[in-house]
Structure 1
Amino acid sequence: MSFLQVKINQKSVLVKRDRSMSGKQEETTRGGDEVDVQNGGSQMDSKHAKGGYDQADTLGQQEDPSSKEIHQQDLKQPQKDLKNPNIDMEDIREEEFNSPRYKTCGNVGKAVVVSNFMEGWKAKQGDNLVARSYAKNDCDMLEKSLKSLGFQPMDENEGSMVYKNLTKSQFEALYKKAAKETNYRPKGGEGYTCVLFFVMSYGTSGLIQCHKEGEEIQHPYVEQKHIQEAFQPQHNPSLALKPKLFIIQTIPEPGNVRDAVGTTEEKTTRRISRETDFLTYTSDSYCIQSCDDGEVNYFIKAIVDVLNSLAKDKQNNESAMEIQRVLIRINKKFKEIRPYNSFKIPCVTSSLTKQLILF
């Protein structure tokens, strides 16, 4: 049995870990003047099957050697204890706890990009999904833009942020690795300002479609809420007071296009998650347009255009924008380049408690 103590000036949080009870939530003991810096268990509501949970958006042929592969046999093996090995976390000082801004580190953040149903995958007979021909270009542009802003791959030994064509078990292993095995606040090190998890796949609001595995008949889904729950700080103390950013594009299956020319926008209800320090930016409308050079994903194009503009500002030592202003600029760009007269603007849900400036 071991203890983790997070100090905030004279106040502290004790988290009691019982190693003999793996799989159970940590037990938090509070004294009279102790302060919580962690959330409790998940409070996110969920929808199942076709309803989905919150929101999401994107679509998916030969393998790109620049993209990282996750091998089925590796992820099938029993995972070693995914608890964060860096138990002795650096103290969270009172000025950081009370600051109106998140702590800006020399390292902007770790970034993971997942892209399903793209190059390297071929639909089998009877499958109504098609490979997303534009997805490789989306990944290349996005990764270049993120690196220009200072984001780093999850694995320092690999140069790519991109993970392609994942089954449900591979996808789950990936987000658990990013959430639980990375130390975002190394003692004596620079640490990371934030963590970014970017997903592009088929799906619907709150449900991300993965590739079939084994004898599965249908392509299974991963719920967005499960990804976000893995990044709660009770699972990895170094994520306390670190903003967790999720950009998710779930493109409707072909033939299920609801947002075309002349259609009336459907009203939907979006629920804001209660977990602290999370921001989710999602699109679940069809936003692929054919052009002379192929197909263009306008959601990704809007993001990349704004990120490239921010990278130029950074090179010119201009003042950085707060994350909410960045998202407003992306929505404005999306509206400008979208060719349809009717469209749904991507949705933001946020439980950030401070201002986030990336650099």
Structure 2
Amino acid sequence: MTVDKFIPKPYSKTLESGSFSWQAPSNIALVKYWGKKEHQIPANPSISFTLDKCHTETTLKFTKKEKQHTEEDFSFEVYLDGELKPDFAPKIETFFKRIYKYLPFLKEYQFTIKTHNSFPHSSGIASSASGMSALALCLMSMERELNPEMEDEYFNEKSSFLARLGSGSASRSIEGPLVAWGTHEEVNKSNNLFGVKYTGHVHDVFKNYQDTILLVDVGEKKVSSTVGHGLMNGHPFAENRFHQAHKNLSVLKTVFSEGNLEKFIEIVESEALTLHAMMMTSIPYFILMKPNTLAIIDKIWEYRKTTGVPVCFTLDAGANVHVLYPENTKEKVLEFIKSELVAYCKDGKYICDQVGEGAKAFENL
């Protein structure tokens, strides 16, 4: 498969103005993606739970430019919660440049992008995955108007492909509840260009799986993900890490099918710690976990050992802790979180979420 699949033929329709709105979820990787090649190609495959409540809502309004201005630079404004955000412009500009080859109408319109996150701004939850996927879906809705014969499968694939060019993990925020990204010989239709919905058998215990996000640190990350990924180039442990990711994804296939929570916990926690171990052993090295992150992990281990409740943690490239557990343990685990873990959260803040089904269109903001 090549990128040529996503270069459109001449459009059969025209479009003067309008708007589209999409709600796209964040996701939390179980097998982590860390390290990338040119053009946002992942160095290893990953798989994630699509979240439900943590999402971005984006409305894209567009008006066609006067003909003499259609070959000028991209024209857009970005608003977050109704406030103009000129500091978001460079990232959107870079995104538009990357995807222009695949959406050649971009310079023909003036865009207004209005966006809102369901989670608090600067909460420490990465909004790039949900934000870029929501914007990609809005742009693909435009292209579907220009090409009404477009099929849903192609719409989802190209949305994921475009979102990936804005943020790698955004490729996993189009569908749900489990999405794989990156070529893996045992995952049907997996590839490096876009995320695919995991179609293997999934045991009922993983349905409605819970994710309570403990907000340990609500500030901006000290090291950007882009810089962090780049430090995998020449990393002394990189090749072993990439091999480990392939192996863990293979094992997870069996875990999902059999509902083996003990093995699930082992892989998910190991993946989280390995992600941070790679950061701590790169040059330059850095630590994104905080003392409270480690305290929470210790508490989870102690609670699981003494109660037998199959609760575990995972981490993204930050200090916050995602507490994962089956729905049938929800009452017990939430009581544990409230009584033992909230004290380690910034201002006592946490978000209760669960596995979701993916993005959806909605009425304009």
TM-score by length of 1: 0.26
Q: Which has the larger helix fraction?
A: 2
TM-score (norm 2): 0.26
